[in-house]
Homo-oligomer: A and B are copies of this chain.
Amino acid sequence: MKRRVCVVITARPSYARIKSVLQAVADHPDLELQLIVGASALLDRYGNTVNYIQDDGFDITSRVYMVVEGENLVTQAKSTGLGLAELATVFDNLKPDVVVTVADRYETLATAAAATYMNLPVAHVQGGEVTGSIDEKVRHAVTKLSGLHFVANERAAERVRRMGENPGAVHVTGCPSIDLAASVLASPEITFDPFEKYGGVGARLDLSGGYLVVLQHPVTTEYDAARSQVNETLYAVRDLGVQVLWFWPNVDAGSDGTSKGIRVFREQDGTDHFHFFRSFPPEDFLRLIHNSRCLVGNSSVAIREAAFLGVPAVDIGTRQAGRDAGANVINVGYDRLTIEQAVRRQMDSGRYASDALYGDGKAGGRIAKLLESVELSIEKHLCY
């Protein structure tokens, strides 16, 4: 009988980080894919990731609405609680053999805990990395709930093992997000008109004239500062005079601060060289980045896919603090002048060499093979 592999996707970036695994599981003759889409991945104002998933040909087994709307941290906790209660019912019906959880967003704890409490083996993708913020705690807590670890590189593997995980359960597969970057490197041209295909608001830019891509999320432990932080970036890129493609942030406590900063800016300032997008499917997004002069903000894409693509990046603030980064990244504080100077420096330096720090582009197949072949167990104990 085929092993039932249940993958839970809760946000736009998670999809990019697991898509090649979905494909490889769906294509594997001895695996059955059960795909649950929940949280902000279902929501229009966070880019309707669910539509991209379906457009890519994946069947969605179950949808779980779980985002409790609000403007403060209390609703992050409540959303996770609601998701935990609901995912338990879903797992109870689907009876998967293994549950795959992706990365470290707060609501992924619901996936890992529901599966663990129901005696289902949990496989975690992207453990062992290091950042700041709540993500840092969630990531390692999920590691301690999981029995199978698919990590990006040897440094991550070492951290997972040192936390007491069974070395035999830690597999360096590379990050599946790099698989998409590798496929984009094979056909990097922007053959579509982004303004026509993906709408958005703002000026219709001439991409051949060079442009920046900006993606800045609120940092949840600095909730109140979200709006002022995004302002620094807005004014920095405005003052650079380069064309800007700006992407809206994920759902998070503070996202309304960030969103409000962006909205007020749009209404008050000359933004004739700005265009604002909700979301893109991952490959087209990576094509935009590949052809940009610099990636700006605090997305992990800077450190991960952009490193592989060799695109210069300016990483702002503490969100990626401590993460292993390649030569393509300059980290700066929340200060418009510093940001402006760093972007100029990166535009001057131009493209970097491709860096396989987070994978070689073959993670999906490796993970599917492991999901089919490894012995699945729910018992674990500290390996010291």
Residues of A within 8 A of B (CB): 42-45, 62-78, 80-89, 91-93, 106, 109-110, 113-114, 116-119, 130, 132, 134, 136-138, 140-145, 159, 162-164, 201, 220-221, 223, 251, 256, 260, 267, 321-322, 378-382, 384
Contact = CB atoms under 8 A, between A and B. Distances in A.
Given A145-B137, A256-B44, A117 B69 contact: no
Contacts of A137: 116, 144-145, 380
* A interface majority secondary structure: helix
28 contacts: A43-B69, A43-B71, A44-B71, A45-B256, A63-B92, A65-B68, A65-B75, A66-B68, A67-B69, A67-B70, A74-B89, A74-B91, A74-B118, A75-B88, A76-B117, A81-B81, A81-B83, A81-B114, A116-B134, A116-B137, A119-B220, A132-B381, A141-B141, A141-B144, A144-B163, A159-B382, A221-B378, A321-B381
- Copy tally for this chain in the complex stands at 4
Contact of A113 (B42, B71, B109, B130): B109
A137 B109 CA distance: 13
A145 B91 CA distance: 25
A1 to B, nearest CB: 21
A45 B45 CA distance: 11
Contacts of A223: 119
Contacts of A251: 69
B77 A201 contact: no
